[in-house]
Structure formats: structure tokens, C-alpha cells
Amino acid sequence: QRLLEDETERIHLCLGCRNMQRAEGARSALLHSHPSAQVDVLQVDTSSTTSVLRAAHEFRLRYNRLDYLYLNAGIMPNPQFDVKAFFRGLLSGQVISMLATGVGILTQKDSVTPDGFQEVFSTNLFGHFLLFRELEQVLCKGGLRSQLIWTSSSNAHRSAFSLQDVQHREGSQPYSSSKYASDLLSLALNTHYNQQGLYSSVTCPGFVMTNLTYRVFPLFPAFFWTLLMPVFWLIRLFTNTFTLTPYNGAESLFWLFKQKPESLDPYCKYHSLTSGLGNTYTEARKMDVDLNTSEALYEALLQLERDVRKKLEDQQKTYQSPKLWDNLEQSHTTA
């Protein structure tokens, strides 16, 4: 919506979505408000390697160029609110920070995908990485620059991430781990691809009222959140991270679209912020990342990618079919 308000005649949007019914609904809403816009939809589920490969294949058939790739699919399954940690935060005076970032008060219960990956890791990170790798040939076409723009989180913390457990199989904060990993990966991609004209940036939408937020307290009725809105507006006087609406949360995504990517700092995360008066703006804040760790994660993801491709090749030989996409369909059905 933010892009079409400013660039209706110049851009061609392709919405990559898991749920096609909701995708068509979003497309219809955008075309209703911007009748001359070019908006397409493409089905992709980043938790499934089969879906990602099929979507990338379809995209390359449709288009020969990609200038901006927004990587913002994300899940926080079965979120649990730690009441004891919350009250400890009240006593320590850290309650505003805890509410804004979820640090110390949110845990999740992860699951395993049919591909054998942790679901949060696959959905929030690896699926995006594989999609990017599959679309490399349509990025930076004709000597033009291209941008990768990740949606990270203020809940991305080094303490939740381990190179020895990049999928976070053993921990209770897979969401935080996956978002910190996206911060690291963005840095590594800049190291490897800037000379080719490809730039990667990381954003944070702030505290936004979405389905992810509502699922933290699934027993609370909808009107409860409406009653809380005045409280959130009051909190906004003390912290600018309470963007509250998806429109405000998209501020940094839109701001990055307008910038020259070579002028951006690869060590910064670009935060959507809202002042106490409701004015939105973007602010760059240094991330807690380093080159060595980012490079190690990048190599680990490349190895996982090689493993995935080897598995698909083995399946292709097993099925004895000349067409990879037929094999992928059989694999998906079997799973």
C-alpha cells in the first residue's frame, strides 16, 4: 500500500503468499484503491523447500528482472507469556523495554517440517535464503542495483542464537534466534554481493498489533485489545517503538525503497518509529553482529542448501523422471 501510494505507475508488484485466498483478497483491495496498479500474486510457503523452489521457478518464467525482494514471511508458533518474568521486569523497571521487545517474557514451542527442518528456522530464515539463491539470476539485471529487505525484530538477540544450533532445536526462543540470524545473514550477503550491485538491509516494524500479537494471549477477546489502545498510546509518549498499526510499521520498508542502497550501513537495522504525536519516521540503530559469526552462518546455510539439492537429486533418480518439477510434486505429495 505504501509503495503504490507513491509509485503506482512505476512499479510492478508480485505478492508472494502462502494462502492464495488471502493473497487474492489483498490484491483486490490494492486494485480497488489503485485501479491502474500492476499487482500479481504467487503462491509460496517459505517453510517448504518444494514450495520455494516451485515459486522461484514460476517467478523466473513470468519475469526477467527483480529490483526489490522483501523478505518478511514470519511465524511465532505457540507463544507463551512468562508471567513471572513480567512481574520481575516490573520490579526492575524494565517493563517498557520488555513490552516493546518481548525480551525475557516470550517463549515458543517449535515443530518440525516434512523436510526435517525446525519450522521457525525454515519459515523465517532458510526459506528466504533459498528463495534468494533461486532468484539470483533475475537480480541486478542489466547492470542495475537490486535490494534485499528483511523484516527482522527488536526481539532479535545474540543470546538466543548459537552457531552450534542454528535451527534452535534445543532452545525455547526460536523466533528470536531466527530474527538474529537474519541480521547476521544480511551482513554476510552484503560482504559477498555488494560488488555485484546487490545490497541487503534489515528493518524492524516496531510493536505492531497483528495476529502475532493477538496469539500471545489467545484467550483474550478482540475488544480487550481495543480497550488497551489508549494505554498503548500513552506508552508511546515514553517509547517510540510502539508503531501499533501495520501502516506505521511499514515506514522503514518504504523508507529503504527511497534510499540509495550503497549509502546504507550494513551494520545497522532500520527501525520504524512513531512519535508521541503519531508521526512516523525511520532511525538506523547498530546491530549486535560481527563478520566472523555472519560468515559462519552463511557457510552453514550454503551447506544446508547443498544438502537440499542433493536430496532432490536423489529423489529425481528414484522417481526416474526427466522433469524436476514433476519430482518435486511427487515429493510434496508423499510428504
Catalytic residue flag (residue 175): yes
Task: Say which residues have a Cβ less than 8 Å from residue 250's Cβ, sequence separation at least 6.
Answer: 1, 2, 205, 272
User: What pairs with residue 15 in β-bridges?
Assistant: 41
Q: Which of 63, 70, 175, 270 is catalytic?
A: 175
CA 224/CA 256 separation, integer angstroms? 34
Residue type, position 124, single letter:
N
Residue type, position 149, single letter:
I
Task: Say which residues have a Cβ less than 8 Å from residue 137's Cβ, sequence separation at least 6.
Answer: 60
Could you write out the three-class secondary structure of the chain? Answer: CHHHHHHCCCCEEEEEECCHHHHHHHHHHHHHHCCCCEEEEEECCCCCHHHHHHHHHHHHHHCCCECEEEECCCCCCCCEECHHHHHHHHHHCCHHHHHHHCCCCEECCCCECCCCCEHHHHHHHHHHHHHHHHCHHHECHHHCCEEEEEECCCCCCHHHCCHHHCCCCCCCCHHHHHHHHHHHHHHHHHHHHHHHCEEEEEEECCCECCHHHHCCCCCCCHHHHHHHHHHHHHHCCCCCCCCECHHHHCHHHHHHHCCCHHHCCCCEEEEEEECCCCCEEEEEEECCCCHHHHHHHHHHHHHHHHHHHHHHHHHHHHHCCCCHHHHHHHHHHHC
Q: Which residues belong to the active site?
A: 175
